[in-house]
Amino acid sequence: MQSKELVIFNTLSKKKEVFKPINFPNVGMYVCGPTVYGSAHLGHARPAITFDLLFRLLKHLDYKVRYVRNITDVGHLENDADEGEDKIAKKARLEQLEPMEIVQYYTEEYHDAMRMLNVQSPSIEPRASAHIMEQMDIVDEIIKNGFAYETNGSVYFDVEKYNEKYKTYGKLSGRILDDLLSNTRKLDGQDEKKNSFDFALWKKASPEHIMRWKSKWSDGFPGWHLECTAMSTKYLGETFDIHGGGMDLLFPHHECEIAQSTATIGKEAVKYWVHNNMITINGQKMGKSLGNFITLTELFTGTHKILERAYSPMTIRFFILQAQYRSTLDFSNEALQAADKGLQRLMTAISTLPKLKTSDATSFNLDELEKKCYDAILDDLNSPILISQLFEAVRIINSIEAGKDTISKSDLERFEKLISTFVYDILGLQNEASSSSSNEAYAKAIDLLLTIRMEAKANKDFATSDKIRNELTQMGFEIKDKKDGFDWTLKS
RNA sequence: GGUCUCUUGGCCGAGUGGCUAGGCACCGGUCUGCAAAACCGUCUACUCCAGUUCGAAUCUGGAAGAGACCUCCA
């Protein structure tokens, strides 16, 4: 399978590059996970699904992947002027809870949402709070290497000094140090730092700050960007293949990560930086701080004022996959409903696939379809093109069912395998209709009603047959008459 | 203010120097007792201006509009 070449856009080079792992066939991938101080929202779903897609694809290509996605449970600083109050501590005070209680609650909520979205668990999901020692070690190392200084119990990264040696600060986000200097100096209220763009590696905790750890510098907490460096190094090694996250983390977060790890090990840790774009709502970024976000629970239940109805997790997943991960994706009820309809059509066709009648020959080009599917997904995860090819498959399936195209027995097996690989394994879609035993009984009851309807039709008793169909339709069923029977689905 | 990105049909969203994206919606037809589904077909595009080119929605320059980052953020 590794004859197939994956091309991925590297933010570092701003080009598409052929993916070649450092230690073939192993792949190390680190993705910035959620800060668990609030509910998971639509924005969180995007990187989770994007990198789930990449994770699934790499595994399909037979790479041995270790996927690390952290849980940030040590709050990052709220802002510079806020005297070190961190997000989780603040929320805890508001709700009169222990910080770890908040963390527990939102972590579970996040996990539940991810499970519903059929996002596979990463190989390792480390917590920042469990890696304080490792973070302190890195601070030590950076001080030893001369790229950090201590002021009043806090330790700061010396960006200027770092840049003198490595000259790479800003390379990821396209920033120039002098510009940053002239930009941010006017906002500078921080006398502890040599330069405004220096960032904290260790921060002394103010008295009201309840999340704190003892260290040689002070009772405090690790800096904003340190946990990813510590945990990626610990689980993936000094250098690893892929580091992912949202585009909004590019600066300063990922830029600082590069500086930290380079200052620690003397070389760059990450080979491919991959960033997903944002989800917008009415053309504006959806975000916690903007207060215009929709939580995943609200989406699944339809309980947000701008939602016309509930949208199932698979609809959300499909909606996100219908855009390429580097494009912004605009949310609207209309767009989600279109995604929902399209997904249902896709799933309906897939369920008829195994029931197709086979012929001696196949009247369409299955090889070409397969090639187009691979070409699409291997070209920087172009899921929308892949999906358009899957709709071509839908057209073919329906056409075979209608007797206008034919398929041989062996090709049908291949076709089923192909669809299952791309739809279930790689895109991670799933059929939401479950088939528990209680569902089976109810399905039989519907079948019974429709059998009675067939009999009524045969007797030209259209009053009865229409009554059954109309009432079932009203309950949300979709009744399809076939040449020799019927079919039905329950619309979500 | 600095850096960068985007602008595609009713909506979402791909793509490309010349050849259909796709989905949803709409319209017409086939099928049906009537529908639904399915199938077939049609229609609506590439923000504007100038340039390069045999040819540009695709390249270059300019304008307008929108957005992102520069502060925690997926």
Asked if residue A268 and residue A121 are part of one domain, the reply reads yes
Same structural domain for residues A457 and A413? no
Residue A409 inside a domain? The answer is: yes
Looking at the fold, whether A266 and A284 belong to one and the same domain comes out as: no
The answer to whether residue A48 is domain-embedded is yes
Q: Is residue A3 part of a domain?
A: no
Domain termination residue (choose one: A382, A402, A426):
A426
Q: Do A91 and A193 have their domain in common?
A: yes
Are residues A288 and A302 both part of a single domain? yes
Check residue A206 and give its pLDDT: 83
d(CA A326, CA A386): 15
DSSP H helix total and E strand total for chain A: 16, 15
Rounded, the Å distance between the CA of A132 and C1' of B45 is: 55
Chain A 131-160, CB < 7 Å to strand B: none
**Is residue A146 a part of any domain in this protein?**
yes
Domain end position, chosen among A383, A398, A426: A426
Q: Indicate yes or no: strand B within 7 A of the C-beta of A372.
A: no
Q: What is the pLDDT of residue A83?
A: 45
Q: How many CB atoms lie under 10 A from the CB of residue A63?
A: 21
Are residues A32 and A101 located together in one domain of the fold?
yes
Q: Report the CATH number at residue A170.
A: 3.40.50.620
pLDDT of residue A421: 96
A189 touches strand B (CB under 7 A): no
- Spans of chain A, pLDDT less than 70: 1-3, 76-85, 181-190, 433-438, 491-492
A391 touches strand B (CB under 7 A): yes
CATH of the domain at A287: 1.10.730
As a whole number of angstroms, the distance between CA A161 and CA A194 comes to: 11
Question: Is A402 (CB) below 7 Å from strand B?
Answer: yes
Identify the pLDDT of residue A1.
46
Measuring from the CA of residue A482 to each C1' atom, give the nucleotide at the shortest distance: B37
How many domains is chain A partitioned into structurally? 3
Question: What distance in Å separates the CA atoms of residue A213 and residue A202, rounded to the nearest whole number?
Answer: 10
CA distance A122 to A327: 24
For residues A200 and A272, state if they share a domain. Answer: yes
Rg (CA), chain A: 27
> Is the Cα dihedral A241, A268, A180, A150 positive or negative?
positive
Instruction: Looking at the structure, tell me whether residues A170 and A222 fall in a common domain.
Output: yes
Within a domain: A2: no
Through-space separation of residue A170 CA and nucleotide B3 C1' in angstroms:
11
- Give the whole-angstrom CA distance, residue A262 versus residue A239: 10
A203 CB contact with strand B at below 7 Å: no
> For residues A46 and A52, what is the distance between their CA atoms, to the nearest angstrom?
10
Indicate whether A324 and A353 sit together in one domain: yes
Query: Which of the listed residues A426, A447, A478 is the one where a domain comes to its end?
Result: A426
Q: Do residues A59 and A80 both lie within one domain?
A: yes
The gap from C-alpha A194 to its chain's centroid, in whole angstroms, comes to: 38
Which residues of A spanning 294-353 put their CB closer than 7 angstroms to strand B? 322-324, 327-330, 332, 334-335, 337-339, 341-342, 345, 348
ipTM of this predicted structure: 0.92
Residue A157: exposure state from Cβ atoms within 10 A (0-12, 13-18, ≥19): buried
* CA/C1' separation A341–B10 (Å): 17
Does residue A137 form part of some domain?
yes
Looking at the fold, whether A408 and A446 belong to one and the same domain comes out as no
User: Phi first, then psi: what are they for A151, rounded to 5°?
Assistant: -135, 120
CA of A160 to C1' of B62 (A): 38
In a domain, A139, yes or no: yes
Range of the domain at A353: 280-426
User: Scanning the structure block, which residue is given the tokens 């510009």?
Assistant: A179
Same domain, A37 and A116: yes
pLDDT score recorded for residue A134:
96
Residue at A393 is within a domain: yes
Bases of chain B below 7 A from a protein C-beta are: 1-4, 10-15, 21-25, 32-40, 66-74
Residues 216-275 of A with CB under 7 A from strand B: 224, 245-253
pLDDT for position A177: 82
pLDDT score recorded for residue A479: 83
